[in-house]
């Protein structure tokens, strides 16, 4: 059994190139059977070629007695295999997503943060073939579509799962042969938890109908994955045509998207969500349908999506963003030349140049005749009732924002460049009608902005 497991894991690692050029990796270690098996297998395969760090996550959901036992076992395995180890405590509160989903999200975030801190290239998790089946059925019941039915990916960098093709029984047999001790999570016996109910009640019934269920589901998942790779190539092209990055979210034209096959349209929407959230965990087909329905609503209509995401109809577009990620009201920052300023995820820079080709100017850049500027330069948000100089006088900023169709929910976050005379530029929206460069201009003020994500 030991040789069989080692051979299977090696094949999985090579197939997905999990550890190519990797020198340092974090192992999510719970002291349970999966993580103990994972550690022993990886150390057997790689020895000292890769430096492994064990990270035990304390969710605060276990009793002090259990925590002490698991932490001591983690420390003993770290010593046995000469690995550094870290215990990270996180606070998990039950919310709309449920305690398990909340714990999983915070656990992944903690592992990611620690991996970045120590410059580890991979985060290794102990999910096995039984986990793959359970997640398949959970997603089937929840209605997560074809993507959800692909269950747990072997690789989604920086996360890798070398045991994904190993059955739970094979893990127990491996540990017995290797005489390795481990802790058991007694909550796994509670069939009131959905995953446990599927494991203990549902899957055994399917195994009676099909003794080759593991192989069958694996094959189906692989077919779905291959189909998905083909579809994603198409989705990438459509995404570039239809979706526009807008501040801390995305706008998309659902009317144009409707001309494509629904399978492509759904995936474009999911890609937007994944770009914002980092994954599609908790996103179901009902959320995608709700977003489509938003296209038939009046401008301003808003819906909530999982994990603090929201979508809002803005004129003939739909905006998808993250709640409470805007800039703070009443910001006021001085802008100096050669000293870039960060406001949220926006970086603004200014410099004095002698020449500038207006034909090459892009939307994230504006230029001014510096002799007509009245310093200091200031970056701030809008003020009630203020006006902007236009060709034939002045116009209220509110009217300009309406004309430029800036969504109401974004207007307090719009960054404005001013001098002592007033507004010079509403970044990315409108340039005031003054301080233009001409033949007699000697010094040009060049201002640019970019988003960091």
Give a three-class secondary structure readout of 264-281. Answer: HHHHHHHHHHHHHHCCCC
Pairing of the two strands 84-89 and 51-58: parallel
Residue 213 φ/ψ, nearest 5 degrees: -55, -40
For residue 391, CA distances in Å to 204, 206, 248, 407, 434 come to 76, 74, 32, 25, 9
| List of residues 6+ apart from 216 with CB closer than 8 A | 210
Identify the architecture of domain 2-209 in CATH: 3-Layer(aba) Sandwich (3.40)
Q: Indicate the average pLDDT of the chain.
A: 88
CATH for 238-319 is 3.30.465.60
**Residues 120 and 24 sit within 8 Å (Cβ to Cβ):** yes
Name the pLDDT band for 276 (thresholds 50, 70, 90): confident
Q: What is the pLDDT of residue 96?
A: 54
Name the pLDDT band for 325 (thresholds 50, 70, 90): very low
Q: Please determine, for residue 311, whether its predicted confidence score (pLDDT) is greater than 70.
A: yes
* 238-319 and 332-451 share one fold: no
Name the pLDDT band for 36 (thresholds 50, 70, 90): very high
Question: Which listed CATH number (3.90.1300.10, 3.30.460.80, 3.90.1310.10, 3.50.40.10) goes with 332-451?
Answer: 3.50.40.10
**Residues 15 and 164 sit within 8 Å (Cβ to Cβ):** no
How far, in Å, CA of 32 to CA of 13, rounded? Answer: 22
Name the residue ranges covered by the structural domains of the chain: 2-209, 238-319, 332-451
pLDDT single digits (tens) 113-137: 899 889 999 999 999 999 999 999 9
pLDDT single digits (tens) 48-101: 999 999 999 987 667 778 888 888 999 999 999 999 999 998 877 665 556 677
Pairing of the two strands 155-156 and 159-160: antiparallel
pTM: 0.66
Name the pLDDT band for 308 (thresholds 50, 70, 90): confident
Q: What is the pLDDT of residue 97?
A: 58
Q: What is the pLDDT of residue 98?
A: 64
pLDDT (mean) for 250-264: 91
Q: Which of 292, 262, 258, 287 is nearest to 274 (CA)?
A: 287
């Amino acid at each position: 059994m030991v040789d069989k497991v080692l051979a299977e894991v090696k094949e999985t690692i090579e197939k997905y190139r999990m550890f190519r050029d990797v020198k340092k990796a974090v192992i999510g270690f719970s002291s349970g059977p999966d993580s103990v098996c994972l550690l022993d297998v990886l150390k057997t395969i790689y020895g000292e070629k890769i430096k492994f760090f064990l990270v035990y996550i304390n969710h605060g959901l276990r009793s002090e007695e259990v925590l002490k036992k698991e932490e001591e076992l983690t420390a003993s395995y770290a010593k046995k295999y000469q690995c550094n180890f870290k215990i990270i405590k996180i606070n998990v509160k039950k919310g709309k997503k449920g305690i398990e989903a909340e714990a999983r999200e915070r656990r992944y975030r903690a592992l990611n943060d620690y991996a970045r801190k120590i410059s580890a290239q991979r985060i290794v998790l102990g999910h096995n073939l039984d986990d793959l089946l359970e997640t398949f059925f959970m997603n089937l019941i929840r209605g997560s579509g074809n993507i959800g039915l692909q269950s747990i990916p072997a690789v989604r960098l920086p996360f890798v799962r070398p045991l994904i093709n190993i059955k739970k029984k094979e893990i127990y047999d491996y540990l017995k042969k290797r005489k390795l001790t481990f802790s058991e999570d007694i909550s796994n016996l509670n069939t009131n938890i959905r995953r446990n109910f599927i494991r203990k009640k549902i899957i055994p019934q399917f195994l009676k109908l099909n003794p080759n269920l593991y192989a069958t589901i694996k094959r189906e998942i692989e077919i779905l994955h291959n189909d998905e790779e083909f579809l994603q190539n198409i989705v990438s092209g459509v995404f570039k045509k239809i979706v526009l990055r807008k501040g801390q979210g995305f706008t998309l034209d659902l009317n144009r998207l409707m001309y494509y096959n629904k399978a492509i349209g759904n995936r474009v929407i999911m890609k937007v969500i994944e770009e914002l959230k980092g994954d599609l965990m908790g996103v179901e087909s009902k959320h995608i349908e709700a977003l489509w329905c938003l296209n038939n609503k009046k401008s301003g209509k808003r819906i909530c999506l999982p994990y603090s995401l929201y979508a809002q109809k803005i004129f003939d577009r739909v905006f998808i963003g993250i709640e409470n990620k805007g800039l703070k009201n009443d910001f006021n920052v001085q802008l100096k030349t050669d000293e870039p300023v960060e406001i949220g995820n926006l970086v603004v820079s200014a410099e004095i140049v002698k020449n500038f080709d207006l034909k090459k100017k892009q939307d994230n850049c504006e230029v001014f005749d510096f002799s007509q500027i009245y310093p200091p330069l200031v970056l701030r948000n809008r003020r009630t009732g203020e006006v902007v100089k236009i060709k034939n006088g002045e116009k209220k900023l509110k009217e300009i924002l309406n004309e430029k169709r800036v969504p109401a929910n974004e207007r307090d976050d719009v960054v404005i460049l001013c001098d002592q005379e007033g507004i010079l530029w509403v970044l990315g929206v409108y340039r005031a009608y003054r301080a233009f460069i001409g033949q007699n201009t000697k010094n040009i003020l060049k201002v640019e902005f970019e988003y960091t994500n």
